[in-house]
Structure 1
Amino acid sequence: MSSNSATEALLNCPSIPLLDGTAHPAIGFGTYKVGFLPASASSAVSGASKADDKDERSAKDCVLDALKVGYRFLECAEFYGNEAQVGAAIKESGIPRKDLFLCSKVWTTTIEKGPEAIKAQFEKTLQDLGTDYLDLYLVHWPVPNHHVQAYKTLEELQKAGKIKGIGVSNYAVQDIQELIDSPDIDQVPLVNQIEINPFLYRKNTIQYCQDKGIVLQSYRSLRDGKAMDHPTLVEIANKYQKSVAQILGRWCVQKGFVYVPKSVKTERMIENGQVFDFELAPDDMNTLDGLTTDDNLQAFLGLYRKCVNRDTSKDGTMDGVKMDITMD
């Protein structure tokens, strides 16, 4: 596929309907660790990046390239520390706001500080991105004793017309249930952004969300580049004459998840987007479904317990952390 054809494929990518009828692009460009490394994003917490993402290019340059090759959904966050540069890229691109789908997330420290801090951060995000509304705004982590209030604040911002849709990120089944059981909450989250790939395919959690009509946004779809030499993936990639990244991306979109790859290299941006011109056979999908191990699920559980209090006054403790969640 030529670069022009790849751009056309991205510009005309399929969409996934959200509960409110919004058409969510099936693929987007992730901006985490693009041009900026957050202070607490250690390899112990977030997974070490491959050399592909250790690049001195600015977030502005990377995002501008992503927009040029056809990405129109940008996945952003307060925590990523680069929203002003993302906004600069959007401005320079000249792409009309109506043609973009912008999502951001509010971080744990702001969530802990309460509604006024969330509203102030939201306004900063709008200013940094150079827009007067967001298509989606998410609670980044289910901070114990604070995340329900945070979500209610997002509902208020939505009612004020500044957010089209709201959702959550890194929520376990029990977190979502706590949220929707609250008498103060009016609506089910439109999305739950969680790590999803064949090595962390949490079927029961995914099924729970889908039963509620919650669309899954997949981050770490490419496993931080750490599975590119996996023999099963290499074998399947050779069969389809595709790259391993394209096999992982195709698995994601074929499952109906929003696929959010990230790279700082233009050729990889193009490659990652070439997932709509082929289909994986059922046997190969089943093979990929079976790559999740108990060790991977245990690692997820440890990360969840570590991160819900991350960067808050309770950081490093299990204060308020749900110890019994649906792991798979």
Structure 2
Amino acid sequence: MSGLPQLKTLNNGVQIPELGLGLWQTPESKTANIVYEALKVGYRHFDSAQWYANEKGAAKGIIRWLKEDPKNHKRKDVFFTTKVKDPSHGYENTKQSIKESLEQVKGIGYIDLVLVHSPQSNKNLRLGTWKALQELVNEGVVKSIGVSNYGVPHIQEILKWDEMTIKPVINQVEINPWLTRKEIVNFCHKNGIEVEAYSPLTRGKRLNDPALMKIAKKYGKQPAQILIKWSIQKGFIVLPKTTHEERLLSNIDVFDFTISDEDITQMTYDDEYQVFCSWDPTTYRG
């Protein structure tokens, strides 16, 4: 393998690896092992959520790796994310739900990033959640806070709020060459908010795309590796997921080549809007 993910600096000065392992739909029974194996091959960034019900497994995998070589394996080198689920919106609910998340991952001491999983509630509840998250950062149990699946109006809601003291560091949304979300991306970057791309592999639905396969052949890479590299070259933090140990290495082995600007343009379909996941809360109005 030719290299490891670079670190990006968030708007609060915290650094995050540009490539992480998504843990959506990873069973709790498999999570500890896949996280541990991922750490062994170079992953340092893991994306969980309250909805995923695998926070505890992720922490177990991290703890196993930390204990294996305490001199060289440091907690500060691992970045762990979780997300507040929709029914937990609101100040009190959020405080309680994060307390429960901290209990699930107590062996790792703190949470690097908490995201609001989606905007699907209402303005008062969302801002109550943000107030709670700001307090948790000030308490030191959470290092950074951000949002997920937020459209521009949802982000503006926070930025215009007179009680905002901490700006979102990240907006995590589904992004791939057929779902480029230029409006959201441009707004985030203009406001110093990093964009995380989930489901960058289109949930496998476009891996056999002829144009993608042609580009993959040109670079001697797999289509999945080309899609991951596309996200990185577009400036996104990218979160491929797999529950297969053999794919962990190939998904992170994307740092020995660069896709040409011409090929990036050829494989980018700004006029398409293909949502491969079962939801698109960025369009939620409420």
Identify whether the pair has TM-score above 0.5, normalized to the shorter chain.
yes
- Pick aligned residue for 1:27 from 14, 19, 25: 19
Q: Given the two structures, how large is their TM-score scaled by the length of structure 1?
A: 0.80
Secondary structure of 1:79's counterpart equals coil
What is the alpha-carbon distance in structure 1 between the residues aligned to residue 184 and residue 17 of structure 2? 22
In structure 2, the CA distance between the partners of 1:223 and 1:33, relative to structure 1 (3 Å rule), is: same
Question: What's 2:99 paired with?
Answer: 123
Once the two structures are superposed, the pairs formed by residues 67-216 of structure 1 within 5 Å of their partners are 67-94=39-66, 95-111=73-89, 114-129=90-105, 130-142=107-119, 143-145=121-123, 146-216=125-195
In structure 2, the CA distance between the partners of 1:131 and 1:266, relative to structure 1 (3 Å rule), is: same
Task: State the shift of 1:302 in Å.
Answer: 6.8
Secondary structure of 2:155's counterpart equals helix
Deviates more, 1:137-146 or 1:24-33: 137-146
What is the alpha-carbon distance in structure 1 between the residues aligned to residue 281 and residue 143 of structure 2? 28
CA contact (8 A) 2:21 2:43 kept: yes
Point out where structure 2 has 5 or more consecutive residues left out of the alignment.
67-72
Task: State the shift of 1:59 in Å.
Answer: 1.6
Question: What's 1:64 paired with?
Answer: 36
Determine what percentage of the aligned residue pairs are the same residue: 35
Question: What's 1:17 paired with?
Answer: 9
Once the two structures are superposed, the pairs formed by residues 252-271 of structure 1 within 5 Å of their partners are 252-271=231-250
Secondary structure of 1:80's counterpart equals coil
Task: State the shift of 1:79 in Å.
Answer: 0.7
Alpha-carbon RMSD across the aligned residues, in angstroms, is 2.0
CA contact (8 A) 1:141 1:147 kept: no
Task: State the shift of 1:300 in Å.
Answer: 8.3
What is the alpha-carbon distance in structure 1 between the residues aligned to residue 92 and residue 127 of structure 2? 15
What is the alpha-carbon distance in structure 2 between the residues aligned to residue 300 and residue 32 of structure 1? 11
Task: State the shift of 1:279 in Å.
Answer: 0.5
Point out where structure 1 has 5 or more consecutive residues left out of the alignment.
37-56, 309-320, 323-328
Secondary structure of 1:259's counterpart equals strand
In structure 2, the CA distance between the partners of 1:69 and 1:292, relative to structure 1 (3 Å rule), is: farther
Task: State the shift of 1:304 in Å.
Answer: 2.2
In the alignment of these two chains, the number of paired residues is: 277
In structure 2, the CA distance between the partners of 1:301 and 1:274, relative to structure 1 (3 Å rule), is: closer
